[in-house]
């Protein structure tokens, strides 16, 4: 509402809903400074005044019954405004002798006027407020609920806030804020009030439990080796054999019911890291010369694991032969990857479409469309190339140490990509040494701790964290070239599928990070995540542009 003398008099609004301070349908002047007409500045625009009013009403302090408050909070604040308006915030008993209400602020419904302003303009409502305070046993001096020892302990939501605040209404704003907090907790269970701490505990428990299970079942903590330790060997050396490298796809495992057993291999081709209870264990004590090795019984049953390559838990070979009942001719050509091998100066090779189809049949996927295999191989190769590019980026960051990595990470993800491009253009990318892929393992049925946490958060907050679980997981073991020598680092890759493009093309997301096998890996992940957060929160990009 604009008065005739506007802009030399302030515009006004009328409140139509209860708040914690203003009377409904009261005419309020818009002057920013305590809504007082005399403080209005004609130079203010209406938009400026409304922005100030909006910020005042949406304050987290809930002093005016914020529009963002819940229904319970507004109920408490509206109930408290009845005591506030009729008593002047409890000042009706503390009027100074010789001081009239006008001198104490009769023009505003505020603490200190004894409720005169409200009583003068709304006498009927003032009588109703005093009746309400008597019926609900509200102390008119402090605003606290006077307990009734003969009554039940339950009370209405409007008066619960008064009963639960031990310090009464002083200071005035603090009392209203306390009422808002009480109302916010009304109707909430223990889990809702402590959901932040529960989330932290769940994340910590998942990480701890996953790490413990990994150490128990993979590293073999509880299978002590009673024999003397063998001579230390280089980490994860590949078997020395005259045979060609396994042609199988390095990114997936296969566990058919009865695969063909691999050829016998001697101790020189065995994996040096194994426990006596492992299916890959080979007795290290050589037999005397001239003693023939006893032949194994023909009906000896070997476990499935004993028939797999111990370096990657894959079959020693995948056939290129046409499968029974196959009606589509599939290519036998294998595409070389850009991923260097850890045991040779060559790169890994991807499987041919025929090998991919045979591998899927071994896994039991007999309903695989034969005409879609070549497209599946193309997507498979594309995803793995992208995964290796991200691993190389991690290696370039931290191969020279945490200090060098932090120099780049502290400037955010955008500068990490920029530094990678500069290194490739200047030829400095190879100074840190090219990482090599030692071995790999597909574990599609084992969710990573991070994926489990995301699924738990998606269950608790589906609107924000809801997503499908990853459709695949890989563990890649990479040989890092550091100034102190070679070091093995395990990377974990989660494969997610997203909504397809408008053109119908599929969308995939890869979450790649070092596994938390050591404190160093945890620091690396914290540096990369924390560096990007710090760069954006501190306005680093803005400062950098301003400096240029």
Instruction: Count CB atoms within 10 A of the CB of residue 360.
Output: 18
Output the six-digit token pair for 223.
């299978």
Residue 65 and residue 70: Cα distance in Å, rounded? Answer: 9
Instruction: Give the distance from CA 474 to its chain's centroid.
Output: 20
- Which is the catalytic residue, given 29, 155, 271, 409? 29
DSSP 440-495: EEE-TTS--HHHHHHHHHHHH-HHHH--PPPSEEEEEEEEEEETTEEEEEEEEEEE
Output the six-digit token pair for 160.
């619960």
DSSP 365-384: -TT--GGGHHHHHHHHHHHH
Closest CA to 343 of 248, 253, 252, 244: 244
Three-state SS at 510: strand
Closest CA to 81 of 13, 6, 5, 161: 161
Output the six-digit token pair for 495.
């494969």
CB 508 within 8 A of CB 496: yes
Q: Is 155 considered catalytic here?
A: no
* DSSP 8-state symbol, 348: E
Instruction: Count CB atoms within 10 A of the CB of residue 452.
Output: 18
* DSSP 8-state symbol, 108: S
Instruction: Give the distance from CA 289 to its chain's centroid.
Output: 61
CB 169 within 8 A of CB 187: no
* DSSP 8-state symbol, 5: T
Q: Which residue, chain included where needed, has tokens 């990369």?
A: 528
Residue 495 and residue 444: Cα distance in Å, rounded? Answer: 9
Output the six-digit token pair for 169.
């209404």
The residues assigned a catalytic role are: 29
């Amino acid at each position: 509402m604009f008065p005739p003398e506007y802009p030399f008099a302030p515009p006004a609004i009328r409140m139509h809903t209860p708040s914690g301070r203003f009377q409904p349908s009261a005419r309020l002047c818009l002057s920013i400074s305590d809504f007082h007409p005399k403080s209005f500045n004609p130079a203010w625009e209406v938009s400026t005044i409304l922005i100030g009013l909006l910020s005042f009403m949406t304050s987290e302090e809930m002093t005016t019954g914020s529009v963002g408050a819940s229904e319970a909070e507004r109920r408490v604040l509206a109930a408290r405004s009845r005591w506030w308006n009729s008593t002047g915030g409890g000042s009706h008993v503390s009027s100074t002798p010789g001081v009239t209400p006008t001198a104490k602020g009769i023009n505003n419904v505020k603490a200190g006027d004894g409720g005169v302003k409200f009583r003068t303009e709304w006498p009927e409502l003032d009588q109703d407020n005093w009746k309400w305070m008597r019926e609900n046993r509200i102390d008119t001096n402090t605003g606290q609920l006077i307990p009734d020892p003969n009554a039940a302990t339950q009370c209405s939501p409007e008066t619960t806030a008064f009963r639960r605040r031990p310090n009464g209404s002083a200071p005035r704003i603090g009392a209203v804020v306390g009422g808002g907090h009480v109302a916010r907790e009304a109707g909430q269970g223990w889990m809702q009030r402590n959901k932040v701490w529960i989330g932290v505990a769940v994340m910590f428990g998942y990480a701890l439990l996953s790490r413990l299970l990994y150490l128990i079942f993979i590293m073999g903590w509880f299978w002590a080796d009673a024999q003397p330790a063998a001579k230390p060997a280089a980490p994860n050396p590949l078997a020395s054999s005259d045979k060609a490298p396994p042609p199988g796809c390095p990114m997936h495992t296969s566990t058919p019911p009865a695969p063909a057993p691999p050829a016998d291999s001697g101790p020189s081709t065995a994996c040096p890291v194994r426990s006596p209870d492992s299916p890959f264990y080979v007795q290290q004590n050589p037999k005397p010369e001239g003693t023939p090795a006893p032949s194994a019984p023909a009906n000896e049953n070997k476990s499935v694991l004993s028939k797999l390559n111990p370096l990657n838990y894959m079959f020693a070979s995948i056939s290129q032969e046409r499968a029974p009942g196959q009606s589509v001719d599939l290519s036998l050509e294998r595409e070389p990857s850009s991923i260097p091998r850890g045991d040779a100066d060559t790169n890994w090779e991807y499987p041919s479409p025929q090998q991919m189809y045979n591998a899927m049949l071994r896994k039991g996927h007999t309903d695989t469309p034969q005409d879609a295999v070549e497209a599946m191989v193309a997507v498979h190769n594309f995803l793995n190339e992208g995964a290796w590019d991200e691993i190389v980026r991690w290696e370039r960051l931290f191969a020279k140490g945490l200090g060098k990595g932090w120099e780049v990470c502290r400037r955010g993800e955008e500068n990490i990509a920029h530094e990678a491009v500069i290194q490739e253009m200047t030829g400095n990318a190879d100074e840190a040494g090219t990482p090599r892929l030692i071995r790999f393992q597909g574990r599609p049925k084992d969710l990573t701790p991070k994926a489990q946490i995301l699924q738990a958060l998606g269950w608790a907050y589906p609107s924000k964290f809801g997503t499908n679980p990853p459709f695949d997981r890989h563990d890649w073991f990479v040989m890092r070239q550091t100034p102190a020598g070679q070091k093995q680092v395990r990377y974990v890759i989660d494969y997610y599928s997203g909504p397809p493009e408008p053109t119908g093309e599929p969308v995939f997301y890869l979450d790649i990070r070092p596994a938390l096998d050591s404190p160093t890996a945890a620091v690396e992940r914290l540096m990369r995540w924390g560096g990007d957060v710090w760069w954006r929160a501190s306005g680093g990009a803005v400062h950098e542009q301003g400096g240029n």
